[in-house]
Structure formats: structure tokens, C-alpha cells
Structure 1
Amino acid sequence: MVKKEVFRGMDESSFEGMGMDEFLAHLTSRERRTLRRLNQNPRLKQLIETVRKVKKENPKKMIKTHIREAVILPEWLGLTFGVYNGKEFKRVEITIKHLGKRLGEFAHSTGRVMHSGPGVGATRGSKFVPLK
């Protein structure tokens, strides 16, 4: 049996005709506050307008952005974003499990550091290891 993806009990078809006010009721208070204050964040407001324009013209195009704090909206389902992580643009494809979260949560800005063994002379036991 295939697991059906849902967002807080609603499937993808229930978001098609849903307005912004209805969607806000399903978000946490922090995301609601961010979306209600769009007039105070012109960069986020500009991103939402750009996404609407790109979705009409070419929905397959990747939308590059530095705005990691943007809350993912239901009208963005199926779109692809390039989210800047400080070094490069990470590809993020929006599905129903991404709704209500921030774009930056899916493009990590720090990588895992992999250390190798200690060098010659780093420990007392390695002082007398012959060099090549």
C-alpha cells in the first residue's frame, strides 16, 4: 500500500482552491506572523510576486533566491527553487511535505566536517614514525 502524503490531514487536492486566509489557519503562529507582515518585508513580497509570474510563464524553470526565510505556500507546489546556502544554490523541489516550512530548512548552510587521522608529530606516539 502506498503512503498518501498529507499536510495536517489535508491532501494536495484540498489546497487547489484554498485562499491565503484558510491556509494561515493551518500554520503555526510564527509562520502566520511572517505572512501577515508582508508589507514590512519587501524582499519576501517581491519573491511571492516573482513566483506567481514564473509559474504562469514557465513552471519548469528553477527560481533562484537568497531569501531562506520564505514560508512555503500551497501555490508553490510542484515548483523548483534554487536556495542559496552561502556558497551555491541548492535545488529544492516543493511537495506537500514542504508546506508551512521555510526554504532555508531544505538547503543546509553548514556541511559535515570529516577529519582524518592525526598528522606526524601530533601525538607523542607518532614522533618516531619514519617519514616516507
Structure 2
Amino acid sequence: MAAPKKTQKRMPRRREEFTYRGYKIDELKAMGLSELIPLMPARARRKFNRGLNRGEETLLEKIRGGDEKIRTHLREMIVMPEMIGKSIEIYNGKEFLKVEFQPESVFHYLGEFALTRKRVTHGSAGIGATRGSKYVPLK
């Protein structure tokens, strides 16, 4: 006779709260741009020091305004802390892909989340692609 199994309920693993260089997301959202710039990676820091263009400023205004549906072609825009939790549709060259931003995506480019190339799926060879297919009737 088999012994009864011991069943223990395990607590679900809790993820630690995300921090970026020692700051929580709420703290990053509360910071002004002048306080955020020193925390950014070098390329993003250079971009913001040189200033944003009109399209990028318009995109940030839409996000701050709380627009429901935001679509953009600006793949070179950097994900700011105020974008976390929002969903933005990013153009990949063919269509707009809906992206929901997680805390881990802070200070990455929008284009990193809307891939422009499809994954290659290799199928079977087509008619005439191999020597053996010479003898296969077409119909």
C-alpha cells in the first residue's frame, strides 16, 4: 500500500520590484527631465541633451495627455518612465504593432519592440527545386 502524498501549498513567487540604477519606477516617474538625464545610457543622454524634435515632443504630450490610442512612426524615440504601463502602436514598415511597455523597457528605443523582419520558417521544397521533382506530375 502506497503512503499518502504530502501536499504542500506553495506560495507563488513574488517578483521583486523593478529598480533602475537604484530608483523605483514611481520615483523615476516623479523626476523631471533634468534629473533623469544623468541616469540614462550615453546615447540616450546625448539625444536628450541635443533636444527633442517636434514629433517626439508631440508624442510625449499625447502620452501625458492620456490619449487612448497612440500610433507612431518614431522608432528612434526612447521609452521614458511615463510610458510604462501604456500601450502604443509602433509602425514596423508594414503595420502598426501594439506594444505594452513594462518597467524593464525604460530607456530602450521604441523600435526594439516592433520588429521589422519576420522569422524565417523553412518549409518543403517547391516544384522544380530538387532533381527528384522533375518526375512529379503537375496535376
TM over 0.5: yes
Aligned length: 126
SS at match of 2:14: coil
What 5-or-longer segments of structure 1 have no aligned partner? none
Q: Match for residue 95 of structure 1?
A: 102
Paired residues for 1:1-132 under 5 Å: 1-4=13-16, 5-39=18-52, 41-53=53-65, 55=66, 58=67, 61-132=68-139
Greater RCO, CA 8 A, separation 6+: 1
Stretches of structure 2 lacking an aligned partner (at least 5 in a row): 1-12
Larger Rg: 2
Partner Cα distance (1:8, 1:106) in 2: 22
Name the SS of the counterpart of 1:81 in structure 2: strand
What's the TM-score, normalizing by structure 2?
Answer: 0.79
Structure 1 contact 62–79 (Cα < 8 Å) conserved: no
Q: Percent identity, please.
A: 39
SS in 2 for 1:127: helix
**Residue 83 of structure 1 aligns to a residue in which SS?**
strand
Q: CA deviation at 1:36?
A: 1.9
CA–CA distance in structure 1, aligned partners of residues 93 and 85 of structure 2: 25
2:71 and 2:133 map into 1 onto residues whose CA distance is 49
